[in-house]
Amino acid sequence: MERGTRTRTQDSPPEGLGQAIRQTAGEIAALLAGATDTTGPVPGLEWTVGETAAHLALANGLMADIASGQARPYGDGTPQGLAAANAQSLVAFPERTAEPLAAMIVEQADRFLDAAGQTVADGTGTQTFLTPLGPMDHGTFASYVLTHMLGHGYDLARGLRRPHMIDASRVELCLPFLKTAMPRVSAASTLTARYTLRVRGGATFGVTFTDGTVEVLPHAPERSDCTIATEPVAFLLMALGRTGPWQAMARGAVLAWGRKPWLAPRFPTLFHAP
């Protein structure tokens, strides 16, 4: 993720993640470049286009501060606490104009990449960062930044009626964060079940529930109850709460089979989207 070539440490970001963050920030800025009115609503959100862009600019700055070693408490580690912190930050930051927000999104993404890249250069890539969704290693933290940007980049594209920038290669780079976040954003449940998740053309992993307690496995579990094969973009949009399982299944983006295939539509409801 850094400029130039450095040796990758055990938990440093996967190849291409830094480039994906920089490219995504640039594409979001390009979306905003043609927006003369940011007061329009974003479908599925309570925010306007301007508020969504402001949140993303602020969030990139927050992540850059954390990557540079600053302590930045934000919420209480729960999706509900995060939502409250988001609302408070928007009240304190009134900018809603497209051009300065676009520049800030790119500037803060670059600052995050520089700070995280310096971590690798210093040989401290194994340190833990205290993020808004709990402690994460270097690679997972960078994956979090990309995932967050793609989610709100998708929101802005919908609000501005433009194509979004999510693709299969970027979804693969989001998986380290999504796997880490699943147990932290699980909803209250008493379910006991074993899922195998297959992202088409990419990773296969397991998610098990034991009386509602969630564990993410690096492989398919033994005696899986339900296997879910998902097209990559649909996988990310469901994980972020931007689309529902029935919508994705109707488009042929999700297939399910196994001993209990009826468990498939329930899976996204077992989490609060981060």
Structural domain contains residue 173: yes
Structural domain contains residue 65: yes
Per the structure, how many domains does the chain have?
2
CATH number at residue 75: 1.20.120.450
pLDDT in tens, 203-234: 999 999 999 899 999 999 999 999 999 999 99
pLDDT in tens, 95-113: 999 999 999 999 999 999 9
CATH number at residue 235: 3.30.1050.10
Instruction: Judge contact between 205 and 197, C-beta under 8 A.
Output: yes
Structural domain contains residue 7: no
Q: How confident is the model at residue 127 (pLDDT cuts 50, 70, 90)?
A: confident
Q: Are residues 47 and 96 in the same domain?
A: yes
CA-based Rg of the chain, rounded to a whole angstrom? 18
Q: Are residues 211 and 79 in the same domain?
A: no
Measure the N-to-C terminal CA separation of the chain; round to a whole number of Å. Answer: 24
Residue 235: domain span: 186-270
Residue 153 carries which DSSP code?
Answer: H
* This prediction's pTM: 0.92
- Give the per-residue pLDDT at 51: 98
CA 19 to chain centre: 16
Q: Are residues 157 and 255 in the same domain?
A: no
- Lowest pLDDT segment from 116-125, 141-150, 160-169: 116-125
Instruction: Judge contact between 181 and 207, C-beta under 8 A.
Output: no
pLDDT in tens, 237-247: 999 999 999 99
Number of H helices, E strands in the chain: 8, 7
- Give the per-residue pLDDT at 213: 94
Structural domain contains residue 3: no
Q: Are residues 105 and 197 in the same domain?
A: no
Q: Are residues 59 and 175 in the same domain?
A: yes
pLDDT in tens, 158-180: 999 999 999 999 999 999 999 99
Last residue of a domain, one of 181, 211, 246: 181
- Lowest pLDDT segment from 5-9, 64-68, 83-87, 206-210: 5-9
Q: Are residues 107 and 205 in the same domain?
A: no
Q: Return the SS3 of 205.
A: strand
